[in-house]
Amino acid sequence: MKAIAVFPGEKAVRLIDHAEPKITAPNQVKLRMIEVGICGTDRDITSFQYGFPPEGFDYLVLGHESLGEVVETGAGVKSVKPGDLVVTTVRRPCAHDWCVPCGAGRQDFCASGDYTERGIKQRHGFMTEFVVDEERYLNPVPRELRDHAVLTEPLTIAEKSLLQLWKIQERLPWGCPHTEAEGPGHCHKAVVLGAGPVGLLGAMALRVAGFDVWVYSRTHSHENKDAILDMIGATFIAAETNTVEQMAQQVGSIDVVYEAVGASSLAFDVLKQLGTNAVFIFTGVPGLHAPIPVDADRIMRDMVLKNQIAVGSVNAPPESFAAAIRDLTEFQKRWPDALSKLITGRFPIDQAVDPLTKDVGGIKNIITIAS
């Protein structure tokens, strides 16, 4: 069957013929892949900075943002049946008995670092015609979400972050007494750094959670971004014409920062502007460049005197996939066009190499495999 693979040794990315997987255990499910999204992690892999083939292979099949349809189930499978749409989780647990998070199904917090990830680290991904996986890694998706469900996985990054935020803020009374009906975040101000897919999906999730949202970003070249931010009621602040200080002045006291760019100098400049009792959530993975000057006294002083927390968040557990599917349903209801505008390009699998290796523009590009 067709698959898109990266060969790190050869520094090549190409369409290959890959053996079709078969169900070999009662808890397994076979999927026909419908669509697979491309993200920054894929770009890092196709520029050979990241990504690890499975043992015994000189290539890695790409793709971790997926939508598939169940075509066959093992004898013991109960939660899905042929015809169901599913999105598959990305990370698989490590094999160490002592890793408590992996043992508890929370490999998103794997303590050993020996986890694997489909399409990223030592397991083939989803940019191929058929995939077999265990039932417990599948998240059923309603048919109505067919056109946008490929956005589930990138949205889980925001959903896990929100989960962390609610848990962290249990440390203090953080409710909004006058407006409880409007959701848990209402009366709080969130700044999203970055207007790529992770940033925009995060902005939508923060809006649904009741936050006032500002998106601070440079790359504001694509007109769809304006339309999306308009629809969801978020305010754009252009980084080209507004310094971080000016941005902070416009927003007022910042309660939450959702970082989705992976640029450390920007992140630490914004960290300096964080408000009282606020939380800064890092989700971007920067390249390892030379050290930069940071206003460490100011930051440390404020972190103590203002009870601030900075937290990193990676990957996502099944509950965040469920939250993403709920939120996508809500986004579709509230802003029917915003999700469609986020998906700016669809490429057949035979033409997948270009959007994976060249700058083809747009916000979220998708590889279509089956209809």
DSSP state of 111: S
**Beta-sheet pairing, 254-259 with 189-193:** parallel
**Residue 329 Rama label (left phi>0; alpha psi -120 to 50; beta):** alpha
Q: Which does 314 bind (CB under 5 to 8 A by kind): Zn ion, ligand BGC, none?
A: ligand BGC
Binding mask 262-281 for ligand BGC (x = CB under 6 A): --------------------
b/e string for 193-227 if b means 16 or more Cβ within 10 A? bbbbbbbbbbbbbbbbbbbbbbbbbeebebebbee
**Integer CA distances (angstroms), 330 to 56, 173, 338, in order:** 43, 27, 12
For tokens 């404020």, name the residue: 302
Question: Which of 69, 43, 38 lies closest to 151 in space, CA to CA?
Answer: 38
Residue 315 near ligand BGC by CB under 6 A: yes
Q: Which does 315 bind (CB under 5 to 8 A by kind): Zn ion, ligand BGC, none?
A: ligand BGC
Q: Interface residues for ligand BGC in 157-216 (CB under 6 A)?
A: 157
Least distance to Zn ion, CB of residue 40, Å: 7
Q: Which is nearer to ligand BGC, 67 or 248 (CB)?
A: 67
Question: CB within 8 A of 95, min separation 6: which ones?
Answer: 114
Q: Which is nearer to Zn ion, 42 or 269 (CB)?
A: 42
Give the residues lining the site for Zn ion (CB under 5 A).
39, 41
Least distance to ligand BGC, CB of residue 17, Å: 26
Q: Which does 84 bind (CB under 5 to 8 A by kind): ligand BGC, Zn ion, none?
A: none
Q: Which does 116 bind (CB under 5 to 8 A by kind): ligand BGC, Zn ion, none?
A: none
Binding mask 103-132 for ligand BGC (x = CB under 6 A): --------------x--x------------
Output the DSSP codes for 287-343: ---------HHHHHHHHHHTT-EEEE--S--HHHHHHHHHHHHHHHHH-HHHHHHHE
Residue from 6, 33, 39, 94 binding ligand BGC (CB under 6 A)? 39
List alpha helices for the chain, DSSP H.
Answer: 40-46, 100-103, 152-169, 197-208, 223-232, 244-251, 264-271, 296-305, 318-334, 336-342, 353-357
**Residue 79 Rama label (left phi>0; alpha psi -120 to 50; beta):** alpha
Q: Which is nearer to ligand BGC, 64 or 207 (CB)?
A: 64
Q: Which is nearer to ligand BGC, 273 or 315 (CB)?
A: 315
For tokens 């896990």, name the residue: 160
Q: Which is nearer to ligand BGC, 120 or 145 (CB)?
A: 120
| Rounded CA separation 53/65 (Å) | 18
For tokens 């690890």, name the residue: 52
Q: Which is nearer to Zn ion, 138 or 254 (CB)?
A: 138
Q: Interface residues for ligand BGC in 58-97 (CB under 6 A)?
A: 64, 90-91
Least distance to ligand BGC, CB of residue 156, Å: 7
Q: Which does 70 bind (CB under 5 to 8 A by kind): Zn ion, ligand BGC, none?
A: none
Least distance to Zn ion, CB of residue 324, Å: 13
Q: Which is nearer to Zn ion, 224 or 283 (CB)?
A: 283
| Rounded CA separation 62/161 (Å) | 25
Q: Which is nearer to ligand BGC, 90 or 204 (CB)?
A: 90
Least distance to Zn ion, CB of residue 89, Å: 12
Q: Which is nearer to Zn ion, 8 or 37 (CB)?
A: 37
- Contact between residue 370 and residue 231 where contact means Cβ atoms under 8 Å apart: no
How remote is the C-alpha of 366 from its chain's centroid? Answer: 14
Q: Which does 120 bind (CB under 5 to 8 A by kind): Zn ion, ligand BGC, none?
A: ligand BGC
Q: What are phi and psi of 204, to 5 degrees?
A: -65, -45
Residue ranges binding ligand BGC (CB under 6 A): 39, 41, 64, 90-91, 117, 120, 153, 157, 314-315
